[in-house]
Amino acid sequence: MRSGVRSAVLLAFMASAAFASPAILAQGAAGNAEKGKQLANTCLGCHGVPGYKNAYPNYSVPKLEGQHPEYIVLALQAYRSGERSHLTMHSQASSLSDQDMADIAAFFTGEAVAKDNNPAEGKPPESAAVCVACHGENGVGITGQYPTLSGQHADYLEQSIRDYRKGGRKNAIMATFAQQIKEEDIRVLARYYSKQKPALETEARPSSILTAGNE
């Protein structure tokens, strides 16, 4: 088990070197949240609606409030380049500069979820051995490049793991990790991390005549 964790740490280091954007990370992914709020109007059409789901395949759109801003930028860059396969996200990201992405990330993050290695919901399942080196025992990413999973929608986490397994997300390190997870363990892992706290939240979009429950 220890040798496996050490291997995971080594691979995690390699991943950060391979997938970090030098231009953005050199700026510390510094963004202007006020500018990001203006740019994020379209984003909020999906990411600002609690429980909103991707049409096909059907899974929950991820929560972004509290996520590492550096990770949001890297994810947007991957959608823009095609490393992540999602037509709508590719179309949106293709219109954004790196600075636009940093601004949007600053808006959505708000205050990033703080690192806390004390699981709020039981011990990590054995299948999490390949996850904790980067995502911590309760799902809070140990550095800005690693996404926080704590409180994320379970079905979104399941979809992400399967995308890494099938090549829909072209990240060699995550693909290696995902291949080590048995199919029957994917749901177990996703449910475990979805129940952890402190948790990610859905960024509330401004109230309008289209907002559910608006009077």
Q: pLDDT 10s per residue in the chain (215 long)?
A: 444 444 444 444 334 433 444 444 444 548 999 999 999 999 999 999 999 999 999 999 999 999 999 999 999 999 999 999 999 999 999 999 999 999 999 999 999 998 766 666 678 899 999 899 999 888 999 999 999 999 999 999 999 999 999 999 999 999 999 999 999 999 999 999 999 999 999 998 765 444 444 43
Instruction: Say which amino acid occupies 158.
Output: E
208 within some domain = no
Assess contact for 192 and 121: CB atoms under 8 A.
Answer: yes
Report the C-alpha gap between 108 and 65 in whole angstroms.
5
Q: If DSSP codes are grouped into helix, strand and coil, which group holds residue 125?
A: coil
200 occurs within a structural domain: no
Residue 205 domain flag = no
**What pLDDT score was predicted for residue 57?**
93
| Angle between helices 154-166 and 183-194 in degrees, nearest 10 | 140
Count the neighbouring beta carbons within 10 Å of the beta carbon of residue 117.
10
Which residue range forms the structural domain that includes residue 92?
A: 2-194
pTM: 0.84
The two structure tokens encoding residue 121: 């919901």
Q: What is the Cα–Cα distance from 112 to 145, expressed in whole angstroms?
A: 13
Length of the chain, in residues: 215
Does 121 reside within a domain? yes
Q: Is 73 helix (H, G, I), strand (E, B) or coil?
A: helix
- The CATH number of residue 59's host domain is 1.10.760.10
Rama region for 113: left / alpha / beta (φ>0; ψ in -120 to 50; rest): beta
The CB density around residue 10, as the number of other CB atoms within 10 Å, is: 11
Number of domains in the chain: 1
Residues with Cβ within 8 Å of 131's Cβ and at least 6 positions away in sequence, in order, are: 124, 149, 177, 189, 193
Is residue 162 one of the residues assigned to a domain?
yes
- Residue 26 belongs to a domain: yes
